[in-house]
Amino acid sequence: MNSISFARQVKLLLMKDLALEWRQKFAIQSVMVYMGCAVFICYLSLGIRGNKLVPSTWNAILRH
């Protein structure tokens, strides 16, 4: 079994990716724009209002 926790693995992966992207400064800005757009699209598509998700949204999230 791997002794490194999942959160630690994610953190290490993000740090590695940032270090690689730092070499190409324009790429970091592109990644930030992509992340912002992805969060905004998820916000719109989930229809989050007042920190509540409607039942149909939970069905869509939990469906395999």
Q: Is residue 1 part of a domain?
A: no
Q: Is residue 39 part of a domain?
A: yes
Range of the domain at 40: 6-62
Q: Is residue 35 part of a domain?
A: yes
Q: What domain count does the chain have?
A: 1
Q: pTM of this prediction?
A: 0.41
Q: Is residue 26 part of a domain?
A: yes
Tell me if 57 sits within 8 A of 47, measured CB to CB: yes
| CA distances in angstroms from 38 to 11, 17, 32, 44, 56, listed in the order given | 20, 18, 10, 10, 21
The model's pLDDT over 1-39, given as tens digits with 9 standing for 90+, comes to: 467 788 889 899 989 888 887 777 777 788 888 888 888
64: pLDDT strictly greater than 60: no
